[in-house]
Amino acid sequence: MLIYLKHIILFLILAAGLHIFSASASDKKRDLHISYPGIRFNAERDFAYSPLMYSGVQGSFAISYSVIKSNTSDLVFLNYTSGNNTNKFGSIMQVVTAGIQTYKFYHRMQETGNGFCLGWSNNNEFNTREVEDVRNFNNRNEYFTSFGPAIRYRYPFIVLNRQVHFQTLAHLQLLGFKLQSSYVTSLPPGFQESNTKGFRKFLNSIELFYPGSGLNVGIQPTLMYELKSGNGLSISYRYDYLNIKGPHNVEKSRGTWSVGIITAL
């Protein structure tokens, strides 16, 4: 059951991303941004395991897609990370994360929306982890969908007669819903109810994501160098902090460095 649930959630995340890609195919200016395997520095606590901090370096891969219209800009990020964390005693936690995050910004400038732009963001993320030394508390996971305000700053300048863009994205996720494994098992709490069946077990496992129950905040500065072909190169750093309270409290602090290629579509 848990394996199927993981696969279903990952499929929904990827399908949502592909749908957004195809829906934007006729818009004005489009860029595809592929980040080569990056490096994520990750630290997290799952209090169902232990209050100890698990930290480590993980591999990361991301694809983003942007559409610039006359008065709005849309961005979509798909990301995947995998690797091991360890605590101070050498215990290993295997971590896998997959997600899709969208931004929508509003601006008056007709071409690029440089300067500050306000908007909103939606984040969808699935996390799963295993600690081989632990039996009863193995296979922990959570999924959340959250919404909140976002801000973007863009500043173009010239280096060696080529256009360079500095861009920073920031978001604060405040409202949404979440789905977590229970405190002592891998399945969500609703699946432990013997008097309910089918889809009702899933519905009974969903909890609200709101201030005091969940928080996701992040910032992502990027430097983009435009080539003569119209494509570009980039270097980016993304930091985000996640705190979820529920059947088991989870806290994560993550920073990812990556380089990439930008292709004009």
pLDDT of residue 43: 95
What's the pLDDT tens digit per position in 219-247? 999 999 988 888 899 999 999 999 988 76
Tell me which fold the domain 2-264 belongs to.
Answer: Lipocalin (2.40.128)
What value does the mean pLDDT take over residues 159-185? 86
Highest mean pLDDT among 17-21, 24-28, 67-71: 67-71
pLDDT of residue 54: 94
Query: Domain boundaries in the chain?
Result: 2-264
The larger pLDDT score, comparing residue 156 to residue 141, is at: 156
pLDDT of residue 254: 96
Spell out the SS3 assignment of the chain. Answer: CHHHHHHHHHHHHHHHHHHHHHHCCCCCEEEEEEEEEEEEEEEEEECCCCCCCEEEEEEEEEEEEEEECCCEEEEEEEEEEEEEEECCCCCEEEEEEEEEEEEEEECCCCCCCCEEEEEEEEEEEEEEEEECCCCCCCCEEEEEEEEEEEEEEEEEEEECCEEEEEEEEEEEECEEEEEECCCCCCCCHHHHCCCCCCHHHHHHHEEEECCCCEEEEEEEEEEEEECCCCCEEEEEEEEEEEEECCCCCEEEEEEEEEEEEEEEC
Give the whole-number percent of the chain exceeding pLDDT 70. Answer: 77
Mean pLDDT of the chain, nearest integer: 82
The larger pLDDT score, comparing residue 83 to residue 228, is at: 83
